[in-house]
Structure 1
Amino acid sequence: MSTPYDLRKVLAELQEMPGEYHETNLEVDPHAELSGVYRYIGAGGTVKRPTQEGPTMMFNNVKGFPDTRVLIGIIASRDRVGKILHHDPKHLGRLLKDSVQNPVKPIKVSKAEAPAQEVVHLATDEGFDIRKILAAPTNTEYDAGPYITMGVVFGSDPDKTMSDVTIHRMVLEDEDTIGMYIMPGGRHIGHFQKQYETLNKPMPITINIGLDPAISIGTTFEPPTTPLGYNELWVAGALRQEPVQLVDGVAVDEVGIARSEFIIEAEILPYETIQEDINTNTGKAMPEFPGYNGDANPAVNVVKVKAITHRKDRPIMQTTIGPSEEHVSMAGIPTEASILDLVDKAIPGKVTNVYNPPAGGGKLMSILQIHKENEADEGIQRQAALLALSAFKELKTVILVDDDVDIFDMNDVMWTLNTRFQGDQDIIVLPGMRNHPLDPSERPEYNPTSIRFRGMSSKTILDGTVPFDLKDDFIRAEFKEVPDWEKYLK
């Protein structure tokens, strides 16, 4: 029987693929330097230029952490995600859509079968300090502190009838305290936490770090695709066609992911908050996916750590840069899957593919490829855009293109908006809607006419599809098909 999928199995596969993995033994400081280095090597996304798409990188010599390694950027490339999931990168949205519809639920294993519990640190141990165990980097010199950026939080409702996994930004505040930002609305962990608060009880959770990317990507699905009661670990199971393995905690009444590199066992305290940047007072949290430093929250949830367990053989602290291509993969591909699921039900066969590009950080922009068969399909493209915008409130811009356009090539998309688009008739603006609170333009000072409160926005549809009755006037130049063209490169 083959070894179940985990981070180490994926890394072993990537090391066999040229250009996908790089490691260094040079010492690096986790405070700003590690992210600063990777910014040049492989971050991509909406990171300040110069940056590029490059290999995932393992730092073997992290200052202050001789027994830990730090991995960054494992899914900071759509092509690499395709290789990791053994699938065509242009059709990952459909792969994830099918995985949601064919879930494989997790199984429980014993502690002896859980590599994540090979080493145990209890909060009651003398000298226990999460900041000395977890090599959590800071992305910039202005961050509120060291952040866990790739930690999958597992939690359940008080009756243990439902569970869920989500990713949050989590800052290490002191020796046993983490500040967790739970974005209002949509996150089931937040729903469960409010139930615990009603009972005036702390909510037990585990924070799982160093995972098979199938888990990290599956985790980021949101309603309506995965409603309350749907645990996204079921998606990861479907992607691998094997169940994710869970194990009971050693210090809290919750399960962790058994093949993690680290598991933090903790409790979210009821009715307690902390200033996110209490140790730095910079006013900043960390860089977020739109490309700007997020403002520090004055009142994030207080998480008290009860134990940390990890593998014994140089455990891997997994991290990411907030605005990097990695966020595009985690947030964008599941959103593509969700949009495809919605439009396939409402207008089947009319949206052939969807892409959430780096320009929108995976959340703010979608490109929809439209197939028109006859005059009755004219206008269906705008209905598709409205469906996407109505279901996913964080979408801000939808671009519509014909099915002869490569939606993964932004030059081709922009060519469409220059040759199949007229601004006075093909721009649809929907003012006064809700959007993602991390977009800094969504404030009344920016547009007092339609933005009454922070987090509101105008939504824009750019219709670059050719009207069906003019289709014959927009045929692209045809070139001879040469099946063996690659021989001319030899």
Structure 2
Amino acid sequence: MAIRSAKLPQAGARQEATADLRRWLSYLAERDRLAIAREGTSLVDQLAAISKKLERDRTVLFPRPDGHDIPVVANLFTTRGSVAESIGVTDEELLARFQEAARKPLPCREVATGPVQDVVHAGNIDLLKLLPIPKHNELDSGPYITAGLLIARNPRTGIQNVAIHRCQVSGPDRIGVLLLPRHTLNYFRMAEEAGDALDIAIVIGIHPVCLLASQAIAALDEDEMEIAGALLGQPIDVVKCKTNTVRVPADAEIVIEGRILPKVREPEGPFGEFPQYYGPRADREVIHVDAVTHRRQPIFHTIVGGGYEHLILGAVPREATLLQHLQRSFPSVLDVRLPRGGTCRYHLVVKINKVSDGETKNIIMGAFGGHYDIKRVVVVDQDVNIDDSDEIEWAIATRFQADRDLVVVSGAQGSKLDPSSRNGISAKMGLDATTPLDSEPLAFKRIHVKGEESVDLTTALQPDQASAYERLGIGIGR
């Protein structure tokens, strides 16, 4: 396996070379942000444990896991800043760039061939022999494909949808898949009602921007791969699968081609999910695998269930879509965050330039309508740093009163993966942590020490601290 030496662009630049996983790994390696594990790491628990230990530090690549020829990579994103880097923008530009790409998607470009089909396996498929598929959390039911883009075509229109679904390897050529009430399930129901299987492909090992785009809250029949192209500034090259009509990125590492079978349900789970709990075992949809294609010397990407990469992948695209949704009705909305403490799904913080006391509660209700996962919304003023959980708690502590600033909605649709819900039926809570517009000028004026920002500690402190202790009669260890 060779990792290309091509460099990614600096912030603000457009990408020119092929946008694939290897280019991103090359970029990380050049900046000492790619760790290489010892050969032979176990695919059962150990690989995930090492990845989890490094999740906020470095991407990690595992050569020959359990003796397998194909290496595994984890932790493609280790910080919010690395998400911005992947599309060549600053942290401050990230959400606006994603919004722009969602508004102006770039159609894919179909090509005749691509590296992802250099090697083709068809017939007598055994996934665990072909691919190094890890087991992640302690009580997971077995090996899971967690970083695969599941691409399906609308049986009526042919338009594709891209999403990430947890995929349990339950047999040599069989995959149990969790389909939540979103677009893939919609397509499958169309096919199943007609008595047909739904042709799909699972794409593993792709530029991280394609992973990000897959998580956009897009409308039915909006192809997320076109959003990825807009983010990269160039169309995604796609090829037709060998055994069905699904189009997949030509520069991906691995593709599993298959069909979601009609009228078939088999046990899937438990699996460690983003709320930091296990999704339960239940009878779920089943994929039959028809073929596996891959590059020569491919790389397998995995995401540790419930780990940081899992959370941040869902957070940024949702934030961009929710911000656009809110700003459409409320121009006073400045920014939003899905904080890690709320699993990057359930809690939303909204920053506003407040112009009307009543508007805040409308914003809260609008946020609930932005995505059914959201169960708590906190609205704060523009002087609050929404990337700092202490600042958000401070705003609630000093600007919120439950008897006048609380909104509660019971019996609403929520996340089925939230263990506190009742089969996905959830309560919603909104907190208005903004200052009243008619308050006295000093009532909510934040204290400030004049000159704090301009202090230079290199000149303010004595250079030799030990000598200063002696001169002042302070003896260390006395």
| Normalised TM-score (structure 1) | 0.87
User: Could you tell me how far apart the structure 2 residues matched to 1:77 and 1:248 are?
Assistant: 34
**TM alignment of 1:204-353, pairs within 5 A:** 204-222=199-217, 226-276=218-268, 284-297=269-282, 299-313=283-297, 315-348=298-331, 350-353=332-335
* Selected match of 2:22 from 1, 5, 8: 8
- Tell me if the contact between 1:104 and 1:235 (Cα under 8 Å) persists in the aligned partners: yes
* Selected match of 1:59 from 35, 59, 62: 62
2:72 equivalent to 1:70 = yes
- Tell me if the contact between 2:256 and 2:293 (Cα under 8 Å) persists in the aligned partners: yes
* Selected match of 2:112 from 105, 110, 113: 110
- Tell me if the contact between 2:43 and 2:66 (Cα under 8 Å) persists in the aligned partners: yes
Instruction: Give the aligned CA root-mean-square deviation in angstroms.
Output: 2.0
User: Could you tell me how far apart the structure 1 residues matched to 2:275 and 2:372 are?
Assistant: 15
- Tell me if the contact between 2:137 and 2:305 (Cα under 8 Å) persists in the aligned partners: no
Deviation of 1:17 (Å): 2.6
Report the 3-state secondary structure (helix = DSSP H, G, I; strand = E; otherwise coil) of the residue aligned with 1:74. Answer: coil
Deviation of 1:139 (Å): 1.0
Count the aligned residue pairs.
445
Aligned match of 2:102: 100
- Tell me if the contact between 1:58 and 1:69 (Cα under 8 Å) persists in the aligned partners: yes
2:87 equivalent to 1:85 = yes
Aligned match of 2:451: 480
Deviation of 1:476 (Å): 1.9
User: Could you tell me how far apart the structure 1 residues matched to 2:455 and 2:27 are?
Assistant: 30
Deviation of 1:76 (Å): 3.8
Report the 3-state secondary structure (helix = DSSP H, G, I; strand = E; otherwise coil) of the residue aligned with 2:439. Answer: helix
- Tell me if the contact between 1:24 and 1:61 (Cα under 8 Å) persists in the aligned partners: no
**TM alignment of 1:333-412, pairs within 5 A:** 333-348=316-331, 350-373=332-355, 377-412=356-391
- Tell me if the contact between 1:244 and 1:257 (Cα under 8 Å) persists in the aligned partners: yes
Deviation of 1:171 (Å): 0.6
What's the CA shift string for 1:392-426, capped at 9, x where partnerless?
11101111111011100111111212222223332
Deviation of 1:483 (Å): 6.2
Identity of aligned residues (%): 29
- Tell me if the contact between 1:217 and 1:329 (Cα under 8 Å) persists in the aligned partners: no
Report the 3-state secondary structure (helix = DSSP H, G, I; strand = E; otherwise coil) of the residue aligned with 1:337. Answer: helix
Report the 3-state secondary structure (helix = DSSP H, G, I; strand = E; otherwise coil) of the residue aligned with 1:178. Answer: strand
Report the 3-state secondary structure (helix = DSSP H, G, I; strand = E; otherwise coil) of the residue aligned with 1:63. Answer: helix
User: Could you tell me how far apart the structure 2 residues matched to 1:198 and 1:181 are?
Assistant: 19
- Tell me if the contact between 1:325 and 1:361 (Cα under 8 Å) persists in the aligned partners: no
Closer, same or farther in 2 for the Cα pair 1:37/1:390, shift >3 Å? same
2:416 equivalent to 1:437 = yes
Aligned match of 1:467: 436
- What amino acid does structure 2 have at the position aligned with 1:78? R
Aligned match of 1:36: 49
What's the CA shift string for 1:340-393, capped at 9, x where partnerless?
111211111x110000111122210110001124xxx22212211110102311
* Stretches of 4+ aligned residues off by more than 3 angstroms: 481-490
Report the 3-state secondary structure (helix = DSSP H, G, I; strand = E; otherwise coil) of the residue aligned with 1:381. Answer: helix
Deviation of 1:486 (Å): 8.6
Deviation of 1:253 (Å): 2.5
- What amino acid does structure 1 have at the position aligned with 2:315? G
Aligned match of 1:161: 158
User: Could you tell me how far apart the structure 1 residues matched to 2:111 and 2:318 are?
Assistant: 31
User: Could you tell me how far apart the structure 2 residues matched to 1:432 and 1:192 are?
Assistant: 27
Aligned match of 1:180: 177
2:81 equivalent to 1:119 = no
5+ residue gaps, structure 2 = 1-14, 464-478
User: Could you tell me how far apart the structure 2 residues matched to 1:237 and 1:471 are?
Assistant: 51
Aligned match of 1:46: none
What's the CA shift string for 1:219-264, capped at 9, x where partnerless?
1123xxx211111111111111111111011122222221111000
- Tell me if the contact between 1:405 and 1:413 (Cα under 8 Å) persists in the aligned partners: yes
5+ residue gaps, structure 1 = 43-52, 277-283, 444-453
Closer, same or farther in 2 for the Cα pair 1:471/1:166, shift >3 Å? farther
| Higher deviation after alignment, 319-328 or 480-489 | 480-489
What's the CA shift string for 1:437-488, capped at 9, x where partnerless?
1111113xxxxxxxxxx21111111211111122622222333375695976
| Higher deviation after alignment, 97-106 or 154-163 | 154-163
Aligned match of 1:455: 424
